[in-house]
Structure 1
Amino acid sequence: MKLWENIQQTPGYEPGEGAFVPEITPYLIEDGVVRGAVLVLPGGGYRLRADHEGEPVAKWLNSIGLSAFVVHYRVSPYQHPYPLLDAKRAIRLVRYHAQEWNIDQNRIGILGFSAGGHLAACASTHFDKGDPEASDPVERESSRPDISVLCYPVISFKQFTHEGSVSHLLGDHPTEALRRELSGELAVQPNTPPAFLWHTADDSAVPVENSLLYAGALSKHHIPFGLHVFPHGRHGLGLAEDVPDVSRWTSLCEEWLKTIGYLKE
């Protein structure tokens, strides 16, 4: 499903070879019960979108009673602000169709891995209420996610960062102002949604300090969060089904979602 039904209305769209049309793939639980939903943002350093962080994660969310949507957001050669515009549009689109899809408008979350975690954090800190005067009814909806799940996320574009994500999103010589604007630990505000974070302590690609910085910012603003740091595990594990210790993140996340009332038993 295209994020903008009229492709020509897609911000930054230029027809021709190599043009990419952002879209979402729904994984709906169609039993008539009104449920929460989560949008899934695979990682890939803003260079690609990793398949193992997409559909398998959506199916896990289905298994715990949540509808899911994999977001095929734009990556390099597209740069900021297009990935963020795609993520915000995806949230608005799901919120707009919430009644039709048996989704609770107040339980629309976002989940991201690595650079997708950076995008999820940006969506959690750079949202808006929607434009009530917009001719497109989707644009009248809020882009604020109700919760976020951040899996070994890139958070900071200033310290402990992943320079590959920075260069693919911002180019080779980003300004300090833009690095600061897109550093999640500096963008948390009082109405940033609750977050569940997990990381491995020896992640050699995206240092664990990224999750620690974001958790610290949430704590400063008294925003509920869960944080789990596992001793060992390579970057990019996804569901981590082949790493018994780290694979517990899914059950820990499920319990956290129940604790905060997002996942109804």
Structure 2
Amino acid sequence: MRSLTLALLCSFSLAAEAQTEIPLYDVIPNSIPTTNREKSVTDHVGKVRISKVSEPGLTVYLPPKEKATGTGVIIVPGGGYSILAIKHEGHDVAKALNEMGIAAFVLKYRLPDDTTMIDRSIGPVQDAQRAIQIVRERAKEYGVKTDKVGILGFSAGGHLASTAGTHFDTHYIDVPRKTNLRPDFMVLIYPVISFTDSLMHKGSRTNLIGEHPSAEKIKTFSNDQRVTAKTPPTFLVHAKNDKTVLIQNSRQFYAACLQHKVPAELYEFEEGGHGFGMINPGSDVKWMELLHKWLRQNKFVK
């Protein structure tokens, strides 16, 4: 009997840890039919990077029902629009959010590629909008309140998250049910924000809008320039010594939020560089704890 009980407990534990990945679309928009060349590589420290993504998906992580707050967050890994740092900026974050009672949805978005999409500049934002659409339309199934759906992005994923949060009036996908595509809040971690020459992360800009983009394209995707009074409340984190994505990206977005009276908070690490994920080895401060406090203060979680 004891062994049977242990076996049942183990099976329940495994079931609780099992996650579901769903495709974003039945028919992928803005797509050129081609062979799926997606590739996943794990490095010597266990970081997982996915490249050549052309078939986007959403991995669903739901907290235990007794802990659920009704809040949902779509997680957007970074990688310069060339790869996805899917584990330490994706799945690991989802598990941590579950501990807070937050439903999490890891977005595996299409990476810009002229061989797989008609207009590579809008492929990623289509996928971000579709993720918001799915979570809102299936909110009851996921135990999420439709007015508590946020988006969290790292680095270039922060650019994509901020695009979702500043371009929501432009529908890059079909919205037959008139679903609200505006995230209720944004969390931007060492985000790429500006595509201007002085602040851009060159790889992200080139991969998304090309080597020699027009001034109009640069302005369209410089998201600090698209902040309005309707921009969602925003929590930002950046290290002052980030040499990959300059901290002025976060500072300019934060300043734009304040200018338009959008609730916003920016936490600046003294050290840490770029790409540290949830744990900055250069500081004892845990930004996830600061985020949890901010979410409570702004009534996005209990």
TM-score normalized with structure 1 length: 0.92
Kindly name which structure, 1 or 2, has the bigger radius of gyration based on alpha carbons.
2
Post-superposition Cα deviations, 1:63-83, rounded to whole Å, max 9, x if no partner, equal: 111000000011132521010
Amino acid at match of 2:143: N
2:32 is matched with which residue: 5, 8, 14? 14
Matching residue of 1:91: 132
Aligned twin of 1:41: 76
* Structure 2 counterpart of 1:174: 213
Give the RMSD, CA atoms, in angstroms. 1.8
**Structure 1 residue matching 2:145: 3-state secondary structure:** strand
Q: Matches of 1:195 and 1:12 in 2, distance apart?
A: 30
Per-residue CA shift, 1:42-78, capped at 9, x if unaligned? 0000001002101001111111110000000111325
Distance 2:246 2:181 in 1: 29
Aligned partner of 2:279 among 214, 229, 240: 240
Query: Is residue 103 of structure 1 aligned with residue 137 of structure 2?
Result: no
2:244 alignment partner, one of 179, 194, 205? 205
Query: In the aligned structure 2, how far is the partner of 1:241 from the partner of 1:64?
Result: 20
Deviations 1:95-140 (A, max 9, x none): 0000121100000000000000000011000003979x95x54xx3
Q: Does 145-154 or 157-166 show the bigger shift?
A: 157-166
The 5 A counterparts of 1:65-144 are 65-77=101-113, 79-128=120-169, 136-137=176-177, 140-144=178-182
Q: Distance in 2 between matches of 1:221 and 1:210?
A: 17
TM-score, reference length from structure 2: 0.81
Tell me how far apart the structure 2 counterparts of residues 129 and 207 of structure 1 sit (CA, whole Å): 28
**1:171-204 C-alpha deviation (Å, 9 max, x unpaired):** 1111110100111110001111000001000001
For 2:230, the aligned partner's letter is: N
In 1, Cα distance between the equivalents of 2:161 and 2:240? Answer: 21
Aligned equivalent of 1:150, options 171, 175, 188? 188
Match in the other structure for 1:28: 62
Aligned residues: 256
Q: Distance in 1 between matches of 2:34 and 2:265?
A: 44
Aligned equivalents of 1:209 and 1:38: distance in 2? Answer: 25
Match of 1:62 in 2: 98
Q: Is the 8 A contact 1:26 1:70 kept in 2?
A: yes
Which runs of no fewer than 5 residues in structure 2 stay unpaired?
A: 1-21, 38-53
SS of the equivalent of 1:35 reads: coil
Per the alignment, do residues 113 and 141 of structure 1 end up closer, same or farther by CA in structure 2, a change over 3 Å counting? same
2:125 counterpart letter in structure 1: L
1:129–1:141 Cα contact (<8 Å) kept: no
What is the letter of the counterpart of residue 126 of structure 1? H
Q: Percent identity?
A: 39
Structure 2 distance, partners of 1:104, 1:204, is: 38
How far apart, CA to CA, are the structure 2 residues paired with 1:113 and 1:204?
A: 15
Name the residue aligned to 1:2: 23
Distance 1:18 1:129 in 2: 29
